[in-house]
Structure 1
């Protein structure tokens, strides 16, 4: 299963780096200019910094773990981008797997 969202911000590259650095202390992470991937034990998140914001796509094996992955990523982005008060609307796709 898969879910995706877009956070409009001028600080996409900074938030991408902050999320990858934070999670990199605990789980496997890959990070390069404009792109990152966070591999949580229950799902994964791909992040892409664009000119107008940060694109996030999470994948997991089933809806409960997808929801958990969305919650973990969303809560951390909320914490790191609190000045911008991100209001994320996730679009869910059935059938896609991690």
Structure 2
């Protein structure tokens, strides 16, 4: 098994479900993306993003083969979220690296 690198992001908002659906529907036009309830999954060429909506936040776990892929996934998710959440007072995600996990 190949080592995978993960990062966990949180965007504090009462509109998490709305943004989860918007992100997945947007990406589904070009890459595999799906929504099931309060969970979403997007498969990029460089890795994956797992999204989870709560009443208070949108949580995202990005997984890639290396730090560069993880950093790129963070940037892609955050850039798109900023476009959808432009009415929010704060549009930055808080990211924390996770320890390397087995794929």
TM-score range with shorter-chain normalisation? over 0.9
CA deviation profile, 1:25-57 (whole Å, cap 9, x unmatched): 010012111000000110110110101111111
CA deviation profile, 1:50-95 (whole Å, cap 9, x unmatched): 0111111100000011111111011000111011131212101242
Q: Which structure carries more helix by proportion?
A: 1
Structure 1 unmatched runs, 5+: none
Find out whether 1:7 has 2:44 as its counterpart. no
Specify whether residues 81 and 33 from structure 1 end up closer, same or farther in structure 2 by C-alpha distance, changes over 3 A only. Answer: same
The match for 2:92 is 87
TM-score with structure 1 length normalisation?
Answer: 0.93
Work out the CA distance in 1 between the residues paired with 2:48 and 2:102: 10
SS at match of 2:94: coil
Q: Which structure carries more strand by proportion?
A: 2
Find out whether 1:22 has 2:45 as its counterpart. no
TM-score with structure 2 length normalisation?
Answer: 0.89
Task: State the 4+ residue runs in structure 1 displaced beyond 4 angstroms.
Answer: none
Find out whether 1:54 has 2:55 as its counterpart. no
Query: Considering only CA atoms, is the larger Rg found in Structure 1 or Structure 2?
Result: 2
